[in-house]
Structure formats: C-alpha cells, structure tokens
Chain A
Amino acid sequence: MSSDNDLFRVLIYDLERQRGDLVLIPGRRRFIGGSGLAALLYEKYGLPGAAPFDPGQPLIFAIGPATGYFPLMSKTVCGFKSPYNSNYAESHAGGRSALALRFAGYDALVVTGKAAQLSTLVVGSRRIELINVHYLAGADVFTTGKLLRKIASGASGHRSILRIGPAGENGSSYACINVDTYRHFGRLGAGAVMGAKNLKGIVLMGDSDLPLPDDKGYAKLFKDIHEKVTSSGMMEKYHNLGTPANVLPLNELKSLPWRNLAATSDPDADKISGEAFAEKLLMHNAACSGCPVGCIHVGMVREMFSTSHRFAIHQVAYDHEPNFAAGPMLGVVDPVEVLAINDMCDRQGLDIISAGVALAWAVEATEKGLISEKETEVKLTFGDAAAFKRAMWLIGHKANEFYALLGQGTMAAAAHYGGGDYACVLGQEMAGYATGETYFASQTVAFRHSHLDTGAYSYDQKHKEQDVDAVVKFLVDDERERVLLTCLVACLFAREVYKPQTMVDIMACLGHTELAANLDTAAENARRARWRLKIATGFDPMATHIPKRFSEVTTWKGPVDAVYMEALRQGYARAVAELGAPVAAHEA
C-alpha cells in the first residue's frame, strides 16, 4: 500500500516488452480496492471495444485495503474481458494469492501484451522476471504446479502459484486459472485470457514485510474479529461439512438440479450428501492464507490401476457447486466418481460448474438424437462417470469440432446442434441451486452470473409470496453489500462477521478515515463502475434470456411461474440498466 492512502500501488507488466511499470494510481477513496480497483484499472487500461484475446487487453489481479491486515480478507479479484460473453468480467479466488500479492508490495498486478513464447511471470518484492517455459506447453495443471515450484524457486511456503492447463492454452471460454492447487479463478474464462497471452503461470512471492497500522486499537480489533470467526459458531457450517451440507436440505426443498434439471429432487441424494463425503472421503481441510476457518475440504480418490492391488491416490478439493456439477447434474451418485470427474476437469484447467453443466446438456442432446458418438467420441449417459472423465479430457484438449464448440459454452454448442431449450444456462452454466424464480432471474442478469452475486438462492428458500418490487429491491440492496465485501476483498463466507460497522472500523483503523466515513458511497461507486463496464462491453440486461427448461421446474413452492419469473427478470434488468447508465458529463 502506498503511504498516501488515496493511492493504489500497481505493477503493470507488459509481456511483449518484458518490462514492468510500477505506477501509483489515485482512487482509493472512490474505488476502495478489489472489485472497485479492478474496475478502475479496466477503465484505465482496458479496451472495451476490442476482442477478449486482443493482446492489449489487461488481465487484472486486485486485492483490498484490509488484505493481510485482518482475517478472512483472503481473496483476490481477477478482472478481464470474458471470452465467454465478451463482457467485462470478474472472478474471485483465494489460496495464498491475496497475501502473496500484498507481501510482494502491490495492490494490484496488471498483465498486458502477449509473450513471444509460453512464459511464467514471477513477481516478488524485489524480483520481476519473465521465464520462458515453452517446454510446459500442454502440461496439465498439477504437473505445471509441481514444475513451477522448481522453475520459479524461492519464497517457498510464502508464494502463490497461478497456472493454466490445456483448456486455457486451447482457448476454452470457461478455462479457469488454478490457484495453489485447490482454488480457482473460475467461470467466464480468465484462464483462456491468460492462455491467449502465452502465459502458463504467474508466481507471486510474498517476501516483504509491512509496518503495523499506527492505530493503537489494531491488535484488539484483530483479536475481536478473530474470536468472532473462531469461537462464535458463525463459521461452523463452512468448516464442518462445508457447503455440501446444502445437498440434503436443497433436495428436500426440491431445489437440487438432477440430470440436466429434469428433476429437482431424487431419493439418491443421501449418497452424495455432505455427510456422505465427510464420512467416506474427507482427508483433511486446508485454508486460504490469513483465514483460520479452513473451509477447503480435500477428499481422497483411491484408484486401483492394476489388478495386483496397485493404487493411485488423488487428493481433490470439493464444495457443493463442483459436487453438483459432477454429481446429480450428471446423474452420478458415487462420491468417489464425483471427485474423480472433478479431478480430471481440474487437470485440464476447466471450470467444473461450466463443464459439468455443458456435459449434462450433451447427454440430453444425445438422448434426443441431436448428437451421437460421431460427435462425442464416447457414449454420454447419465451416471456413466468413466465417459464423463474422458469427455473432460476431450473438452480440455479441444479434441474435435463438437468439443471445440462445447468448450465455448453450452449455448455455443446448442446454436449449432439445437437443444437450446434445455441448455441450463443463466448467463452462464447454472450453479447447483434450482431454488426458483428469484434465483433463475437473478443469476441471468447479475454481474458475474454467479450464485454469490446476491442472496437470491436463499430468498427463494424463505419466500413463497410473489412481489416483484420487493424482490428487485432485495437484489439491488444485497448486491451493494456484497460489492463492499468484494472491494475489501473479504471472503463472502465472512459476510456475517464483516457487517457494515465492522468494515467502517477496519477502514478507520487502517488510516483510511475519509473512506471510512464514505464507505457506502464508495461501494456504490464501485458497483456502478463495474456495471458501466459490463454494459460498455456489450451487455444488455434487458436482452438476457431464461431457457425454457427453467420454467419446467417444480420446487417446494410448486411449479415455476414463468410469467412471474419473466417479470422478475425484467424488473431486475431495468434496475441493472439504471445502475450501469453512463455517467452524465457534469457528474464525471
């Protein structure tokens, strides 16, 4: 952080020139950090009208003012122009990335240009280096991680290794960036942007130290928050069973998508419940750096590869969303197979939610005769895990025309082969909550098309009444609070801990007194800035569409009301259009 607390300290690295520029950019008081800073940097360095893979497009990694200073301020925001939808996009990841960037001495890293050969960028507090790694072309995510530990040696234990797999190199629209093995900048294709830059890896070395905040109350404030996190029980659900604890309640509420959303509950749910994963497969927990919760659940896949009892062991991180995409959505109910599909997807550097949902569509398209093994190479059938593992490899390696299209998203494939009505796409491939009209409409329009953009999935589970205005107000208000968290950048699991007053206290403690007094205004500014960017890059909220499948769903509230859902979509879209309206000249 800069000593002038309105300035962001940003490293702009040009892969073509192999040069870094350290710049101090004013705007902390208006953009806070994280989501706001990424939007500010895209405004400054982005090319809204150019293609996502244009070498001039920036790939932005931004942290917040409290990163490293308080617990669970453990996420990094990645800003980029998405190859999935050509819109300005964000993805969030944890691991060690946030603290490594903080201790390397930066509020953000912006990578521009395209390297002449496949390369890895190494950034530390006293080291900036581009290493030619042409020999890693095509290497899977885990092999790449292992080799980068040797190739970019130093700061062991205190560095973060970001890397892509074949899917990123091959330009899949939902290629992710793997962070420290178990975390991801997933969805919307940040990995493909990295691939287009010929960038196989980024190694962030957190090898410096920063002064303590001057505020005498810092140690106490830290201790109070730490105690809330570790002793109050607020985080229990995240470190006990983790998010898969949702499976049985969602299934009970008829809100768990099964077999490409042909059903919303199934008697087999107990086989893939959070309890089943924890009892049978959970090996250990891991944590993002600076977070004592340890919500990362790592399960074990023990695979006998020879009849003479030779085994391969795979450690696979799991959560509700990946489990849903590789499990019920594909009709797979063996937890070992769910993890094995996840593992194969992870190695390719694909986003598992997108890839799983895309394959679910492919199964139904196969059943309906739109595609066959001529396209898919393996027969895709609900429940056939071996076929899905093979298909993950085929998508990652862009094996043929069909998988090249499927790697651009379900709708890209449906545009060619048909079957758009049952493509489970709400802006992007849906996450594992078939909770009803609010969620479907919200995810369709919302900024990241992520279930975490708003609490719509939770709203659906609590409200049966139909009230468009109330829902739209809820979505708009809820998003503002979440954007404040993603500007800081707190883990969204910590939203019960980081209430508005606590965030004001933190900003004041860190010396950002002016920002502390105007935190809500700054969050609103950041929120509007990123909506403006999304709209400037082609997003039309009113033109969004909810495929027919979502109106064929039955939840605990009964059959989805398509007319009400459309009213919600339009209502929220109008609100978003207003939030993202261009700034009038006199306001700019």
Chain B
Amino acid sequence: MKIHRALRMERCIGCHSCSLACARLVYKSVSWDRAGIRIRSTGGVSSGFQAILCLACDPAPCAAACPTGAMVQRKSGGGVLLKKSLCIQCGKCAAACPVDAIALDVAGNPSVCVHCGQCVAYCPHDCLELVEADQTTAAPCLESCHVER
C-alpha cells in the first residue's frame, strides 16, 4: 500500500499546482479548498510553505469520529476512504483530524487525500512522493529531514 508524503517541502515555490490538480482530477472541481492537498504559507510567503494533507494515521481519528461509517480506515495503513453515500456532512471527521487535513465545502462535504498520487506529477520541484506505507521513510517528519536516495 502506498501513501502520499510531502517529502521535500523546502523546495516548494507555492504554485498550488498540486492542489489545483487534485481539485481538478480527484474532486472534479476548480478550487484551492476542495482538494486533498492544500498548500499554505507558514506566516506569509517569505516564511516557506507547508503541505496540509492526510498523514495516513493508523488508527485514524477521523474514521473513529465518523458516526455513520462513511469515513473508514483503509486496510494496510493507506489512509482513509470516504463513502459519499453514507456521509451526513456532520464535519466530525474534520474536527477530529489533528493536522486539519480534511477540508469541508459549503455543504459540509469533506475533501481528504486518497493517496492516489495524481498531484505528484504536477509538482515542478519534486516535493511530493508516494511511498510504501510500511517503510520507515514514510514518517511525516521527512518534510524537513529527507535524505536523497
């Protein structure tokens, strides 16, 4: 099982190409918000950029908080899956996420990274990568301490 990691965010130029690609290709939307990966600065554009995306927690607090079974843990630690037909737009998944990785649209529909990697190809600086979920290199701390392989 692969999971999505923002491994080299110190290279990020803030172009939003990844989140716009996710919105376009995964959420069928043109948006900054309706996307599974969102880029924000850490205090103005001179302070660098951070990727807000699902860290594939296992167990996942968002799945545990979902009252209808719409947000479920994927097997093999590959993040969560959202069954749209079961979602009542209560927003508990977003509230439970410790890193604000789930965005809610106006109607309360969640957007979360599904670890499909479609955004990866649109990053001009190779900041993003799909990695094996069971590898130690999958740690989220790699955003700032990756080693070239």
Interface residues of A (CB under 8 A from B): 68-69, 71, 95, 99, 103, 126, 145-146, 149, 156-158, 180-182, 206-212, 218-219, 222, 226, 230, 284-294, 296, 298, 315
Distance in angstroms between the alpha carbons of A79 and B13 in the assembled complex: 28
User: Is there contact, CB below 8 Å, between A182 and B45?
Assistant: yes
Q: Which residues of chain B have C-beta atoms less than 8 A from A209's C-beta?
A: 23, 27, 29-31, 33-34, 105
User: Is there contact, CB below 8 Å, between A211 and B29?
Assistant: yes
User: Is there contact, CB below 8 Å, between A287 and B31?
Assistant: no
For A74, the closest partner residue in chain B by CB is B15
User: Is there contact, CB below 8 Å, between B41 and A292?
Assistant: no
Distance in angstroms between the alpha carbons of A279 and B4 in the assembled complex: 34
* B64 beta carbon closer than 8 Å to chain A: no
Chain B residues numbered 1-29 whose CB sits less than 8 Å from any CB in chain A: 13-17, 20, 23-25, 27-29
User: Is there contact, CB below 8 Å, between A210 and B30?
Assistant: yes
30 CB contacts below 8 A, A to B, read A68-B20, A69-B30, A71-B17, A146-B44, A156-B40, A157-B41, A157-B52, A158-B32, A181-B44, A182-B45, A207-B32, A207-B33, A208-B31, A208-B33, A209-B33, A210-B31, A211-B29, A212-B24, A219-B25, A226-B17, A285-B13, A286-B45, A289-B15, A290-B20, A291-B15, A292-B17, A292-B123, A293-B15, A294-B15, A315-B46
Distance in angstroms between the alpha carbons of A158 and B17 in the assembled complex: 13
Q: Which residues of chain B have C-beta atoms less than 8 A from A289's C-beta?
A: 14-16, 32
Interface size class of B (residues with CB under 8 A): 20 to 34
Q: Which residues of chain A have C-beta atoms less than 8 A from B27's C-beta?
A: 209
Q: Which residues of chain B have C-beta atoms less than 8 A from A149's C-beta?
A: 43-44
Q: Is the interface of A mostly helix, strand, loop or mixed?
A: loop
Q: Which residues of chain B have C-beta atoms less than 8 A from A99's C-beta?
A: 16, 32
Q: Which residues of chain B have C-beta atoms less than 8 A from A219's C-beta?
A: 24-25
* B115 beta carbon closer than 8 Å to chain A: no
Q: Which residues of chain B have C-beta atoms less than 8 A from A182's C-beta?
A: 45-46
For A68, the closest partner residue in chain B by CB is B30
Distance in angstroms between the alpha carbons of A181 and B39 in the assembled complex: 17
Distance in angstroms between the alpha carbons of A294 and B30 in the assembled complex: 21
User: Is there contact, CB below 8 Å, between B124 and A230?
Assistant: yes
User: Is there contact, CB below 8 Å, between B122 and A286?
Assistant: no
Q: Which residues of chain B have C-beta atoms less than 8 A from A210's C-beta?
A: 29-31
User: Is there contact, CB below 8 Å, between B46 and A287?
Assistant: no
Distance in angstroms between the alpha carbons of A419 and B125 in the assembled complex: 50
Report the minimal beta-carbon distance from B85 to chain A, rounded to whole angstroms. Answer: 21
For B28, the closest partner residue in chain A by CB is A212
Distance in angstroms between the alpha carbons of A222 and B30 in the assembled complex: 12
Q: Which residues of chain A have C-beta atoms less than 8 A from B105's C-beta?
A: 209
User: Is there contact, CB below 8 Å, between B14 and A287?
Assistant: yes
For A72, the closest partner residue in chain B by CB is B15
Distance in angstroms between the alpha carbons of A207 and B33 in the assembled complex: 7
Distance in angstroms between the alpha carbons of A524 and B45 in the assembled complex: 37
Q: Which of B17, B27, B29 has the most CB of A within 10 A?
A: B17
For A222, the closest partner residue in chain B by CB is B24
Chain B residues numbered 62-117 whose CB sits less than 8 Å from any CB in chain A: 105-106
Q: Which residues of chain B have C-beta atoms less than 8 A from A95's C-beta?
A: 45
Distance in angstroms between the alpha carbons of A230 and B18 in the assembled complex: 14
Query: Within the complex, which residue of A69, A157, A208, A212 is in contact with B39, where a contact is CB–CB below 8 Å?
Result: A157
Given contacts A212-B24, A286-B13, A290-B20, 6 further A-B contacts (CB under 8 A): A156-B40, A157-B32, A158-B38, A212-B30, A286-B45, A294-B15
Q: Which of B33, B39, B106 has the most CB of A within 10 A?
A: B33
Q: Which residues of chain A have C-beta atoms less than 8 A from B20's C-beta?
A: 68, 290
Q: Which residues of chain A have C-beta atoms less than 8 A from B29's C-beta?
A: 209-212
